[in-house]
Structure 1
Amino acid sequence: MSKKYAFSRKLWVTGICTLLILVLVAGCSGGQSSSGSNENAGQTTNQAGQTEGNSGANPDQAATGGTFVYGRPAAVNSFDLHNQITANNAFAIDKVFESLLSFNSDGEIVDWLAESHSVSEDGLTYTFVLRDGVKFSNGTDVTAEDAVFSLERHLEVGGPLAIAAKVDSVKAQDAKTLVITLQEAYTPFLSELSNFSNGIIPKDFGGVSEEEFFKQPVGTGPFVVESWDPTGDVTFTKNPYYWQEGKPYIDKLVYKLIEDDSQAINQLKAGEVDAIESLALQNANEIKEGADTAVAENGSWVTEQIFFNTLDEHFADVHVRRALAQAIDREGLTNALTFGYAQTATSLLPTAIPYNSNDTVKALEFNVEAAKQELAQSAYPNGFSTKLLIASGNSSRAQAAQIIQAAGKEIGINIEIESIELAAFRERFFAYDFSMMINSGQADSPEANSIIAFQTDPDGFSKSYWTHYTNDEVTKLLREGQKTQDGEERAATYAQLLQILADEVPYIPLYYPEILKGVRSSVDGLIVLPNGSLRFEEVRIGQ
């Protein structure tokens, strides 16, 4: 059986931006047609824009039906799509709820529940026509009124992935046609509509309370929640009314909680799970070369970073942040930890996202003497002691923490590593209860604003990714980038913004990892998305 997974590593494609310039929407988002280049050798693209994997098990030997078990490091604790953001919930929500638009494994925006969409020349009016025959998992028809209810609920709730566009109205023109009118142009709008947070739910929650609805959610996705332990596993069953005829091929999908990545690898090798979500980069070659295992991979929208809490007196000092940035050998760290599955970061934006400016941004270089001189300009010239917060069970971050600890010691900063369980880790940084931490930032859609806004907007949900970093010029450039039509002017705006971040380092970008999933060789048709989620509609389990 073949173990090669031919998922695309190249997400920057010519066709992503072409149509968007015409309709004045976000770079690398919007209703693209075919891409200018495609490295998906041996793959085909279906009508809904999905890229179908042709590897893993021999399709002739793969069967329909059965149960697919997926090992994940954190439990699903909510299906409320408008109030969630972390991957543990997001990548379960997107199995149940679907949006008008989505994106494929190349990072291209595609029509999903919408059969088509159009944008007025002034960029203010968006019209979506729903597909024929789309039903919710309870068998009721999906109408434009359901879309109106869903988007208006999102506008009311706001939440961590709030609709940032200034929406004037959301109206159903008829049963199949939705019209959204904006007060002013907002370039990333189409891209943001592809987020899981803009999934369509039944009008008025189908006649039940919000609380009851999200315990037994009803959506248009390929799967339905059968059983759910908010501290453990989730079992999904096949949605019999799914709009993609014949899919999903499997009968059940189980999200199995495995908090330690070493345990996950052992269970994958033993065949206790069919795939694992958290595959440390240092284990990739071992799994790729295993007798019964393989690696599914894709380029990513992820940047691994060190985050500074600027409410902390030490890291409120830009000289301290700059000193640590120069004390850390990013290239050496990347080479030591990622085994060729990542690229050293110079900019906040990963290379797969447009306007990343990786070739032009001048990041602070590794130079211990310069780092010492920088610290001497701070309020703490003789150094200080601090703590670095990480989530336990992630060996790559544990090793990164040790490298950072050693780098800090070289310039007089004593760093204590504090490793805690993942759920507690999230609670801590949500509460700004950290001095510095290692975490990743990622786009939820193929749009520069997706990361930039989340990590620089002091008024946004995350307050600049819980760093509370505030810079009036950065905020001004952020707003300009959101309104500017795609092209050279928008590129220049983001280049200027990213250079300020590189100079002031409220976070230190370390590397851009590829998305890696460990899978059994008997698995065929697994689709890896660049945000780290998977599509299971096409999955078959070999004999």
Structure 2
Amino acid sequence: MSRDIDRRAFLKAAGGAAAAATLAGCAADPDESGTGTEDATDTQTNGGETDEETTETDGEDTTTLTFARGNTSGTLDPQNSTSGEDVKVTNQVYDQLIMFEPGKTSLREGLATDWSLEGTTVTLTLREDVTFHNGEEFTADDVVATFNRFTNPDYEHYPGDKYISAYGPFTIGNWVKSVSKDGDYALTIQLNQKYAPFLRNLAMFASSILSEKAIKELGQDLSKEPIGTGPFKFENWDTSNQQIRLSANTDYWGEVPKVDEVVFTSVGSNTTRAQTLDSGGADIIDGLGAQASKIVENSSNAKLVSKAGI
């Protein structure tokens, strides 16, 4: 069974300081040669034959994509993080109202299907028939609760100044005067002043939309039990082995994932991480230096995909 993985569909672009790594090693596609491009699909090969990691479950094969990175996550709550390593995981679990086109700075529909910014007034039409991973329907109440949790110390479920990251005021708190809903699927945001980049702030990872029910029930435990609307659902976090496992959200409102599960694992050494890719122990790695990049470039089982940083 061939396993073709669209990097852009899987690795949703992260905004701000958590942009994609400048160098990423990927398992090679046997039908392509030379240096990879952003549009290339990535398939792990071994001597010309496809090498797949599958798990037998009730007679069915489960396809697993393994992402080896330089460090583990510190939290899985996007309101508790300033780390790009965290965002690699949370951007698979959560969506934003407006989202970046993968690998680009242009905007596309997310949990909002339409929006406008006129002066200091932002209006958004929300997507209907979206379900959180806990089974709750997504509505305007979740957006209001998300903003309050991130920026309002008087909110009953505000997790505390020490818990909330610096992105709280940076993305929302410094600009938003009020958020009001008009029914279940319409929102109006009033800004303190004109601020043209605000729509892009809504597309940043820190503006991920949380479930109001999860906010109330889990509090700071969202740092280890994330619940979003994204293409992958959180399964478990093996902290002793620095491994996080996600499963495909088959009810996702957008394009359904092409793999059944994703495993994020940590390999601290750049060289060892490159060797892990070359030997088939990982499908994607990133954060390589010049020396480790040469291992991927010289590999017959992998290819190097490079991209300019922000």
Report the equivalent of 1:110. 108
**Number of residue-to-residue matches in the alignment:** 251
How far apart in 2 are the matches of 1:264 and 1:79?
Answer: 23
Matching of residues 462-481 of structure 1 within 5 Å:
none
- Corresponding residue for residue 80 of structure 1: 77
Structure ID, larger Rg: 1
CA 1:54–1:229: 2 relative to 1, 3 Å: closer
CA gap of 1:184–1:158, structure 2 versus 1, over 3 A, is farther
Does residue 275 (structure 1) correspond to residue 284 (structure 2)? The answer is yes
Q: CA distance change for structure 1 residues 55 and 102 in 2, over 3 Å: closer, same or farther? A: farther
Summarize deviations over 1:115-171 as a string: whole Å, max 9, x none.
Answer: 111111xx2111111223211112321101101111221223463453254311111
How far apart in 2 are the matches of 1:234 and 1:55? 21
Corresponding residue of 1:299: 308
1:409 aligned partner = none
Q: Does 1:202 align with 2:211?
A: yes
Equivalent in the alignment of 1:152: 148
**Does residue 241 of the first structure (1) align with residue 251 of the second (2)?**
yes
Could you tell me which residue of structure 2 aligns to residue 133 of structure 1? 129
User: Which of residues 227, 236, 239 in structure 2 aligns to 1:227?
Assistant: 236
> 2:42, 2:67 → 1: CA distance?
20
Answer whether contact 2:67 2:265 (CA < 8 A) is retained.
yes
Residues 150-193 of structure 1: per-residue CA shift (max 9 Å, x gap): 12212234634532543111111121111111121122211111
> What runs of 5+ residues in structure 2 fail to find an aligned partner?
1-29, 46-60, 153-163
Q: Is the 8 A contact 1:5 1:56 kept in 2?
A: no
How far 1:204 moved relative to its partner?
4.2
Structure 1 partner of 2:18: none
Larger helix fraction of residues: 1
1:2 to 18, 31, 34: 31
1:268, CA displacement in angstroms?
Answer: 0.7
1:136·1:241 contact (CA, 8 Å) conserved in 2? no
**Cα displacement string for residues 62-81 of structure 1 (whole angstroms, at most 9, x for unaligned residues):** xx950011101111121121
Q: Counterparts in 2 of 1:453-468, with a 5 A limit?
A: none
What is the one-letter code of the residue matched to 2:147? L
Match of 1:93 in 2: 90
- Quick one: distance in 1 between partners of 2:33 and 2:197? 35
Structure 1 CA distance for aligned equivalents of residues 306 and 98 of structure 2: 23
- SS of the aligned residue for 1:171 comes to strand
Query: TM-score of the superposition, structure 2-length normalised?
Result: 0.73
CA distance change for structure 1 residues 202 and 270 in 2, over 3 Å: closer, same or farther? same
1:392-471 maps to which residues of 2 (within 5 A)? Answer: none
**Structure 1 residue 251 displacement after superposition:** 0.8
Superposition pairs for residues 2-21 of structure 1, below 5 Å?
2-3=31-32
Q: 1:138 corresponds to which letter in structure 2?
A: N
Structure 1 counterpart of 2:120: 124
Cα pair 1:130 1:176 within 8 Å, conserved:
yes
- Calculate percent identity across the aligned residue pairs: 24
| Aligned counterpart for 2:274 among listed residues 240, 265, 275 | 265
Query: In the TM superposition, what is the alpha-carbon distance from 1:266 to its structure 2 partner?
Result: 1.0
Structural mapping, 1:14-33, within 5 Å: none
User: CA shift at 1:276, angstroms?
Assistant: 0.8
Aligned to 1:180: 189
Q: Secondary structure at the match of 1:262?
A: helix
Which structure exhibits the higher relative contact order, with contacts defined as CA atoms closer than 8 Å and separated by 6 or more residues? 2
Aligned to 2:225: 216
After superposition, the Cα gap between the structure-2 partners of 1:4 and 1:96, relative to the gap in structure 1 and judged at 3 Å, is farther
- Output the amino acid matched with 1:168: K
Q: In the TM superposition, what whole-angstrom CA distance separates every residue of 1:502-543 from its partner, at most 9, and x where no partner exists? A: xxxxxxxxxxxxxxxxxxxxxxxxxxxxxxxxxxxxxxxxxx
Paired AA for residue 235 in structure 1? R
SS in 2 for 1:136: coil
Give the Cα separation in 2 of the matches to 1:201 and 1:8: 34
Letter of the 1:191 counterpart: R
Sort the Cα spacing of 1:208 and 1:90 in 2 relative to 1 into closer, same or farther, 3 A.
same
The corresponding residue for 1:169 is 178
Shift of residue 82, structure 1, vs aligned partner: 1.1
Question: Residue type matched to 1:178 in 2?
Answer: L
Q: What amino acid is the match of 1:129?
A: T
Q: Which residue of 2 aligns with 1:39?
A: none
Task: Check conservation: 2:125, 2:186, Cα contact below 8 A.
Answer: yes
SS at match of 1:228: strand
Secondary structure at the aligned position of 1:250 is classed as coil
What RMSD, in angstroms, separates the aligned Cα atoms of the two structures?
2.6
1:411-455 CA-partner distances (Å, limit 9, x unpaired): xxxxxxxxxxxxxxxxxxxxxxxxxxxxxxxxxxxxxxxxxxxxx
- For structure 1, the 5+ residue unaligned runs are 10-50, 58-63, 302-543
1:54 shift after superposition: 8.7
Q: Distance in 1 between matches of 2:253 and 2:35?
A: 27
Letter in 1 for 2:296: I
Distance 1:69 1:56 in 2: 11
Q: Which amino acid aligns with 1:117?
A: W
Q: Distance in 1 between matches of 2:105 and 2:43?
A: 20
For residue 56 of structure 1, report the CA deviation from its aligned partner: 8.3
CA contact under 8 A between 2:37 and 2:305: conserved in structure 1? Answer: no
Partners of 1:72 and 1:258 within 8 A in 2: yes
Task: Check conservation: 2:76, 2:222, Cα contact below 8 A.
Answer: no
Secondary structure of the residue aligned to 1:208 is helix
SS at match of 2:210: coil
Q: Distance in 2 between matches of 1:199 and 1:265?
A: 31
SS in 2 for 1:76: coil
Q: Does the 8 Å contact 1:165/1:186 carry over to 2?
A: no
Cα distance per residue 1:71-124 (max 9 Å; x no partner): 01111121121121111212211111111112121221222111111111xx21
Which amino acid in the other structure matches residue 283 of structure 2? D
Matched residue SS, 1:82 = helix
